[in-house]
Amino acid sequence: MSLTTNLLFSLLFLLSVVLQCIFGNFPFEFFAFPLNAVIALLWIALIWYGYKELRNWVIVRILLSPSATRWTLGWFLAGCLVIGLFPQLSPEDATRKQGLFAMLGCYNFMSSWIFVAGLFSLLTHLGMITVRRCLLSGKKHWRFILNHAGLWLALFAGFVESASEQTLRLPVFRDKPNNEAFTSQGKTVFLDKPFQLKEFAVEHYANGTPRHFFADIIVDEQVIRLEVNHPYSAGWGEDYYLTSYDMRSPEPAYCVVQIVREPLKYVMLAGIIMMLVGGFLLFLEGPKRSDASSAEKQN
């Protein structure tokens, strides 16, 4: 089994390198929300069905093996090392880079085929062993389930959210409403509701340096208050931040609002909470080697 596992993951790695060199980075924009949520549900269903009905298939046995754990974790950690060693640029800046490392997607590695294939393998393996533990007869192993299912959710949400996450900067004027925002790359995005500055106040230190500032802004005929370092939650996965203002005028004529859209933010938070609960249970109960060994024997 170990030889087969090594062969399978070696071929998968080589395939991801070839795809990266031919097509460039993975087309994340195609998998934006809500399509990524639908794919996640189908993925979980296939993992469940694969373990329940196709457990004797070679590919399922490989994904349940300790060798798969070593491969997927090693691949993921190597990918994180690449992200740490190379400056991570925007997609536009990364395409301007030349050389072998640029061809392999090292300057925007989270969206490379190599990293996507490694994380897909890790999440599939993680899902398989979590389902296995869920379906074991007898006592439920909640520590294991919460830790592994929480890690799956956190990794999945944090990774696929890069396809849906959007950060916009919007100048909000006192004399007229505005719905024309800009991405970090300078692209224009028109919002479905206008923003207009109603009131703005600044508190200063004794030396005249701004200490605190806040703004009352009219959004869709409603007044909301934004304060520096205090985001306003406008809905599921959308927050407003007051980032700067017109410092040249005694009475600022505009301020700048940063709009951050993270549709899967609470999914990631749920995964982190599950891991914390699992870790707390692990601390309370302590390691139980007999449970782990009996679980392996049943499989």
Render pLDDT for 278-288 as a digit per residue (tens, 0 to 9). 888 888 876 55
Render pLDDT for 180-200 as a digit per residue (tens, 0 to 9). 999 877 889 999 999 999 999
The residues that bridge with 242 in the sheet, in sequence order, are: 257
Most confident of 135-139, 211-215, 235-239: 211-215
131 & 275 share domain? yes
pLDDT at 163: 61
18 & 126 share domain? yes
Question: How many domains does the chain divide into?
Answer: 2
Calculate the CA 133 to chain-centre distance: 25
146 & 191 share domain? no
Query: Sheet harboring 254-261: ordered strands across?
Result: 222-227, 210-219, 188-204, 178-182, 166-173, 254-261, 238-245, 232-235
207 & 160 share domain? no
138 & 227 share domain? no
Note down the domain range covering 257: 166-261
51 & 100 share domain? yes
Half-sphere exposure of 201 (CA within 13 A, CB side): 7
204: pLDDT strictly greater than 90: no
The share of the chain scoring above pLDDT 90, in percent, equals: 56
pLDDT at 135: 83
> What's the rounded Cα separation, in Å, for the pair 275 and 152?
10
134 & 193 share domain? no
> What's the rounded Cα separation, in Å, for the pair 16 and 222?
50
Question: Can you give the pTM of this predicted structure?
Answer: 0.75
Render pLDDT for 73-129 as a digit per residue (tens, 0 to 9). 999 999 999 999 999 888 878 888 999 999 999 999 988 999 999 999 999 999 999
pLDDT at 41: 86
Q: Mean pLDDT throughout 218-242? A: 90
Which is it for strands 188-204 and 238-245: parallel, antiparallel or unpaired? unpaired
pLDDT at 95: 87
pLDDT at 295: 46
175 & 288 share domain? no
Q: What backbone torsions phi and psi does residue 109 show, to the nearest 5 degrees?
A: -70, -25
12 & 158 share domain? yes
**CA-closest candidate to residue 110, choices 145, 133, 81:** 81
292: pLDDT strictly greater than 50: no
33 & 146 share domain? yes
CB 20 within 8 A of CB 105: yes
The share of the chain scoring above pLDDT 70, in percent, equals: 91
Calculate the CA 255 to chain-centre distance: 29
183 & 100 share domain? no
182 & 123 share domain? no
User: How many residues are present in the chain?
Assistant: 299
